[in-house]
């Protein structure tokens, strides 16, 4: 009995890996994923605590494909649901979501799918579980597994409590047979974990806690700089990468947005003061890579699944470490190198205190928030490894140095700034009473300002002793002194600078002041011409398919292609993130681009296989793909010849009077590929001496409309044409019409 069970679970584990490989195109589970999936496949309840970007969705999507019956995924956010379903449908998993954006007819259709057994995963918001229509559905289908995403919403101690999460437990109780139940969250506190187990009615679940470290995110804290200049410089260096800039207030978001637009940086923005329409449009523009820079308050980000965010910049220090870590966690979900940059100035503490003050009337909560603000401030002032500080704060043991934060980094020359520090401090000392930074700067720079004269500061010995500093540089230097607590900064109605014990030690020459040279901005992703070309192709396909580019392929996949140069379909299938369906759908187009690049740059490629399992090989149906995979190991030239054969096959089918649509279906290639075959044939000087049947793709009326628009906007680019025609005309229609025009057929 025991043996059988072990054998069964081994089989199930193998099956899980096969699914991961075939559908997602990944070769192995990440740390944590395997154990959680195994536990669910054993039929046990489970709680999984994983950081943002840790890979929770695969932990329930893969078992959903194995467990018998329907899997219901409870998810709190409408936007997240749609994105997740889009992504898994695109890799061939039968799934759907139900939420308030759907019409009752659409919901009916989904119910029918579920009833006929043609649906594996159904995403719903918790409120839906309470409706009689939904209860009626689940009384008729077998629900084998319920996965609860963002499970901390059930706890009032979590940061986004949702009453309807409390209903999940009785919903599960209503089901005819009790399904396996697994809960997922990124919130790690004990109280929340206990609430999840109790309030969701989990049965003796194993709790899996993955490490909270996000190794691929470099943590930078930058002090004493001109923030705007720094950001502009950084964005210009990383113009092709997507990033979020968080600012503390709406006003600041708007002001940054205006200033960056003035500097020709294309960016979008998000905060609670914008209309619903504008917010969702701006969010979509960012997710679809139409704008790379998003400037936002912390209202932005929940439910954003975009995996290729390369940086998160905090224009102000956030008010607690929880929020900060959640926000920087939005960078690099795809596991690629990313950066978190916190731009600190002492005034940020003042801003956050003010925000807490006006936002919270409950005294106990206010005190708690002040405490958290103090922890955040301590993190910023810490001289030790920032990662260590954060992970320890979340209760995780971490004793090493990460070598991937600005405190660990050895780069940056240390320079002795004791003399300049003494000049500033002695000026403060001589001014007797406390003044603001502006008076101090004006005095040190020898300003002719009336106020300075009225105060008599032009007679101080320190008057004008720092003329060699520009106003901005001196301001930054004073901020840096404050950041290192060599000078105190008192907030209040009129913030002032003041000496402290450390200042006195420096003035007396007992302590020296050494600062690291101000960090320079740098480029996160190194240039690779092929990567850029692949990214353009991805954008083109995403536009045709009306999906965000990351759904086509992730950055990690493009990067791997641009470094390994796959030349055959089989080689391409060895790239992480290339699953079977995507290989079929997009493979040819990506290979074309790689082949052209390899040939024109005369690159010698020695391709080595990495993925252990190749589900493609076990496909016994003889398909077009098999023909391609048998070309394993051929050179670029031979492969081109193979391609030649491939396009000739299309021409032969056209000669046999098959329509474009039928050829695309029959060969499992896209309409665009069929068009490119036809065009290739003509480009090689062949006469199109056969008739081509376009009728099932493009009607005469559509063709006329498109050609009218072409007269107006030209035929160089598809987008301007698409923008002028109504939605029923797709990119495929436009391509076909242009092809007909070019070939005069
Ligand atoms: P979470 O929901 O925990 O924030 P996701 O499920 O969105 O994280 O996963 C984050 C990213 O990691 C996604 O782009 C996903 O495709 C990728 N990923 C997950 N598991 C693996 C794996 N085993 N191998 C490679 N990439 C993975």
Tens of pLDDT, residues 430-473: 998 889 899 999 999 999 999 999 999 999 999 999 998 888 88
**Mean pLDDT of the residues in the chain:** 86
State the closest ligand 1 atom to the C-alpha of 57, by its place in the atom list counted from 1.
6
- Tell me: do 564 and 476 sit in the same domain: no
Pairing of strands 46-49, 206-209: parallel
State the closest ligand 1 atom to the C-alpha of 149, by its place in the atom list counted from 1.
2
- Tell me: do 370 and 466 sit in the same domain: no
Higher pLDDT, 671 or 505: 505
Tell whether ligand 1 has an atom less than 6 A from the beta carbon of residue 29. Answer: yes
Domain holding 588: CATH number? 1.10.150.80
Q: Which of 162, 191, 209 is the last residue of a domain?
A: 209
- Tell me: do 250 and 335 sit in the same domain: yes
Tell whether ligand 1 has an atom less than 6 A from the beta carbon of residue 54. Answer: yes
Query: Is residue 720 helix, strand or coil?
Result: helix
- Tell me: do 275 and 133 sit in the same domain: no
In 105-231, the DSSP E strands lie at: 121-124, 143-148, 180-185, 206-209, 217-223
- For residue 268, CA distances in Å to 276, 284, 291, 294, 434 come to 15, 10, 7, 5, 41
State pLDDT tens for residues 544-571: 988 899 999 999 999 999 999 999 999 9
pLDDT at site 173: 94
Assess if residue 465 is contained within a domain. Answer: yes
State pLDDT tens for residues 248-259: 999 999 999 999
Assess if residue 153 is contained within a domain. Answer: yes
State the closest ligand 1 atom to the C-alpha of 56, by its place in the atom list counted from 1.
3
State pLDDT tens for residues 112-123: 999 999 999 999
Question: Does the structure show a pLDDT above 60 at 298?
Answer: yes
- Tell me: do 454 and 554 sit in the same domain: no
pLDDT at site 630: 38
In angstroms, the CA 128 to CA 124 distance is: 6
pLDDT at site 233: 92
How many A from CA of 21 to the centre of ligand 1?
A: 13
In angstroms, the CA 538 to CA 545 distance is: 10
How many A from CA of 326 to the centre of ligand 1?
A: 16
State the closest ligand 1 atom to the C-alpha of 576, by its place in the atom list counted from 1.
25
- Give this prediction's pTM: 0.67
Under the banding of pLDDT at 50, 70 and 90, the label for residue 658 is confident
Of 585, 671, 552, residue with least CA distance to 288: 552
How many A from CA of 48 to the centre of ligand 1?
A: 14
Q: Which of 515, 541, 571 is the last residue of a domain?
A: 515
In angstroms, the CA 552 to CA 555 distance is: 10
Of 289, 322, 302, residue with least CA distance to 537: 289
Higher pLDDT, 612 or 712: 712
pLDDT at site 270: 96
- Tell me: do 565 and 598 sit in the same domain: yes
Across 359-368, 516-525, 535-544, 711-720, least confident range? 516-525
Average pLDDT value for residue range 475-489? 85
- Say if CB 178 and CB 96 are below 8 A apart: no
- Tell me: do 185 and 325 sit in the same domain: no
pLDDT at site 491: 66
Assess if residue 377 is contained within a domain. Answer: yes
Question: Does the structure show a pLDDT above 60 at 529?
Answer: yes
pLDDT at site 618: 39
Domain holding 489: CATH number? 1.10.10.10
Question: Does the structure show a pLDDT above 90 at 4?
Answer: no
Of 186, 210, 223, 185, residue with least CA distance to 386: 223
In angstroms, the CA 62 to CA 23 distance is: 9
- Say if CB 149 and CB 76 are below 8 A apart: yes
Residue ranges making up the domain that contains 165: 9-209
Assess if residue 711 is contained within a domain. Answer: no
Tell whether ligand 1 has an atom less than 6 A from the beta carbon of residue 184. Answer: no
- Tell me: do 347 and 305 sit in the same domain: yes
- Tell me: do 453 and 541 sit in the same domain: no
Higher pLDDT, 723 or 611: 723
Under the banding of pLDDT at 50, 70 and 90, the label for residue 742 is confident
Query: Is residue 207 helix, strand or coil?
Result: strand
- Tell me: do 103 and 149 sit in the same domain: yes
- Tell me: do 249 and 312 sit in the same domain: yes
State the closest ligand 1 atom to the C-alpha of 33, by its place in the atom list counted from 1.
23
Assess if residue 745 is contained within a domain. Answer: no
Number of domains in the chain: 4
Question: Does the structure show a pLDDT above 90 at 575?
Answer: yes
State pLDDT tens for residues 25-73: 999 998 789 999 999 999 999 999 988 778 899 999 999 999 999 999 9
Tell whether ligand 1 has an atom less than 6 A from the beta carbon of residue 58. Answer: yes
Token pair belonging to 741: 């025009």
Q: In the block, which residue shows the tokens 């392929």?
A: 553
Residue 293 burial (CB < 10 Å; 0-12/13-18/19+)? buried
The residues pairing with 293 across neighbouring beta strands, listed in sequence order, are 243, 267
Domain holding 238: CATH number? 3.40.50.300
Mutate which of 21, 51, 55, 217 for ligand 1 pocket (most atoms within 8 A of beta carbon): 55
How many A from CA of 55 to the centre of ligand 1?
A: 4
- CB within 8 Å of 84: residues ≥ 6 apart: 57, 75, 97, 123, 305
In angstroms, the CA 519 to CA 517 distance is: 6
In angstroms, the CA 453 to CA 458 distance is: 6
Concatenating the DSSP letter of every residue in 547-571 gives S-HHHH--HHHHHHHHHH---SHHH
Average pLDDT value for residue range 134-156? 92
Under the banding of pLDDT at 50, 70 and 90, the label for residue 105 is very high
Token pair belonging to 528: 């690779």
Count of alpha carbons within 13 angstroms of residue 489, beta-carbon side: 21
Q: Which of 475, 490, 515 is the last residue of a domain?
A: 515
Concatenating the DSSP letter of every residue in 404-439 gives SBTTT---S-EEE-HHHHHHHHHHHHHT-S---HHH
Average pLDDT value for residue range 603-628? 54
pLDDT at site 642: 53
- For residue 8, CA distances in Å to 11, 34, 499, 612, 613 come to 5, 16, 71, 21, 20
Assess if residue 697 is contained within a domain. Answer: no
Assess if residue 654 is contained within a domain. Answer: no
Tell whether ligand 1 has an atom less than 6 A from the beta carbon of residue 30. Answer: yes
Tell whether ligand 1 has an atom less than 6 A from the beta carbon of residue 193. Answer: no
How many A from CA of 704 to the centre of ligand 1?
A: 46
- Tell me: do 426 and 556 sit in the same domain: no
Under the banding of pLDDT at 50, 70 and 90, the label for residue 3 is very low
Token pair belonging to 176: 């005819």
State pLDDT tens for residues 355-401: 888 887 788 878 888 888 988 998 998 878 999 999 988 888 888 88
Higher pLDDT, 627 or 41: 41
How many A from CA of 187 to the centre of ligand 1?
A: 17
State the closest ligand 1 atom to the C-alpha of 29, by its place in the atom list counted from 1.
23
How many A from CA of 120 to the centre of ligand 1?
A: 20
Average pLDDT value for residue range 332-361? 89
Under the banding of pLDDT at 50, 70 and 90, the label for residue 661 is confident
Assess if residue 160 is contained within a domain. Answer: yes
Token pair belonging to 358: 């006006």
- Name the closest-CA residue to atom 9, ligand 1: 55
Under the banding of pLDDT at 50, 70 and 90, the label for residue 409 is confident
């Amino acid at each position: 009995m025991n043996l059988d069970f072990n054998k069964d679970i081994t089989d199930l584990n193998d099956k899980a890996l096969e699914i991961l490989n075939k559908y997602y195109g990944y070769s192995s589970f990440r740390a944590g994923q395997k154990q959680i999936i195994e536990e669910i496949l054993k039929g046990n309840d489970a709680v999984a605590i994983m950081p943002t970007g840790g890979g929770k969705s695969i932990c329930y999507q893969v078992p959903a494909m194995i467990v018998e019956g329907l899997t219901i995924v409870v998810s709190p956010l409408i936007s997240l649901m749609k994105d997740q379903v889009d992504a898994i449908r695109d890799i061939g998993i039968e799934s759907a979501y139900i939420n308030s954006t759907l019409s009752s007819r659409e919901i009916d259709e989904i119910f029918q799918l579920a009833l006929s057994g043609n649906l594996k995963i159904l995403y719903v918001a918790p409120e839906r579980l309470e409706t009689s229509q939904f209860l009626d559905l689940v009384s008729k289908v077998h629900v084998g597994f319920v996965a609860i995403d963002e499970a901390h919403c059930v706890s009032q101690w979590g940061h986004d409590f949702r009453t309807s999460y409390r209903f999940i437990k009785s919903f599960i109780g209503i089901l005819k047979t009790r399904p396996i139940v697994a809960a997922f969250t990124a919130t790690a506190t004990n109280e929340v974990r206990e609430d999840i187990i109790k309030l969701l009615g989990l049965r003796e679940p194993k709790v899996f806690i993955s490490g909270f470290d996000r190794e691929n995110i470099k943590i930078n804290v930058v002090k004493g700089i001109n923030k705007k200049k720094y950001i502009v410089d950084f964005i210009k260096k990383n113009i092709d990468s997507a990033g979020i800039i968080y600012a503390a207030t709406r006003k600041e978001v708007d002001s940054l947005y205006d200033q960056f637009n003035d500097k020709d940086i294309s960016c979008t923005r998000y905060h609670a003061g914008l209309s619903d329409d504008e917010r969702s449009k701006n969010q979509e523009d960012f997710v679809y890579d139409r704008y790379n820079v998003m400037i936002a308050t912390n209202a932005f980000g929940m439910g954003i699944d975009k995996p290729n965010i390369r940086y998160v910049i905090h224009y102000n220090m956030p008010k607690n470490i929880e929020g900060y870590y959640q926000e920087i966690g939005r960078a690099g979900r795809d596991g690629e190198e990313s950066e978190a940059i916190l731009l600190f100035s002492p005034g940020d503490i003042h801003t956050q205190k003010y925000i807490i003050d006006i936002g919270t009337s409950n005294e106990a909560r206010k005190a708690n928030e002040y405490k958290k603000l103090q922890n955040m401030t301590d993190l910023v002032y810490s001289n030790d490894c920032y990662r260590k500080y954060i992970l320890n704060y979340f209760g995780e043991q971490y004793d090493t140095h990460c070598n991937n934060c600005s405190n660990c980094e050895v780069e940056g020359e240390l320079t002795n700034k004791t003399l300049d520090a003494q000049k500033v401090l002695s000026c403060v000392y001589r001014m007797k009473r406390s003044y603001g930074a502006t008076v101090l700067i004006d005095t040190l720079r020898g300003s002719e300002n009336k106020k300075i004269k009225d105060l008599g500061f032009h007679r101080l010995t320190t008057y004008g002793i720092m003329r060699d500093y520009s106003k901005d540089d001196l301001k930054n230097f004073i901020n840096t002194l404050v950041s290192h607590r060599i000078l105190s900064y008192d907030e209040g109605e009129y913030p002032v600078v003041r000496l402290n014990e450390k200042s006195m030690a420096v003035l007396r020459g007992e302590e020296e002041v050494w600062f690291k040279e101000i960090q320079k901005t740098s480029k996160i992703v190194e240039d690779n011409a092929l990567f850029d070309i692949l990214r353009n192709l991805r954008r083109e396909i995403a536009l045709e398919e009306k999906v965000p580019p990351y759904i086509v392929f992730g950055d990690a996949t493009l990067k791997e292609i641009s470094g390994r140069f796959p030349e055959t379909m089989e080689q391409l299938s060895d790239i992480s993130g290339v699953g079977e369906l995507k290989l079929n759908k997009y493979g040819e187009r990506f290979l074309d681009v790689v082949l052209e690049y390899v040939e024109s740059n005369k690159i010698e490629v020695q391709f080595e296989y990495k993925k252990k399992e190749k589900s493609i090989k076990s496909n016994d149906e003889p398909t077009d793909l098999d023909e391609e995979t048998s070309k394993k190991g051929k050179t670029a030239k031979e492969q081109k010849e193979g391609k030649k054969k491939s396009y000739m096959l299309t021409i032969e089918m056209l000669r046999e009077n098959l329509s474009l649509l039928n050829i695309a279906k029959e060969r499992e290639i896209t309409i665009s590929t069929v068009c490119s075959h036809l065009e290739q044939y003509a480009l090689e000087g062949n006469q199109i001496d056969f008739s081509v049947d376009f009728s099932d793709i493009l009607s005469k009326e559509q063709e006329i409309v498109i050609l009218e628009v072409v007269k107006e906007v030209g035929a160089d680019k598809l987008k301007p044409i698409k923008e002028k025609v109504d939605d029923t005309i797709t990119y495929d229609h436009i391509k076909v019409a242009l092809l007909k025009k070019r070939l005069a057929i």
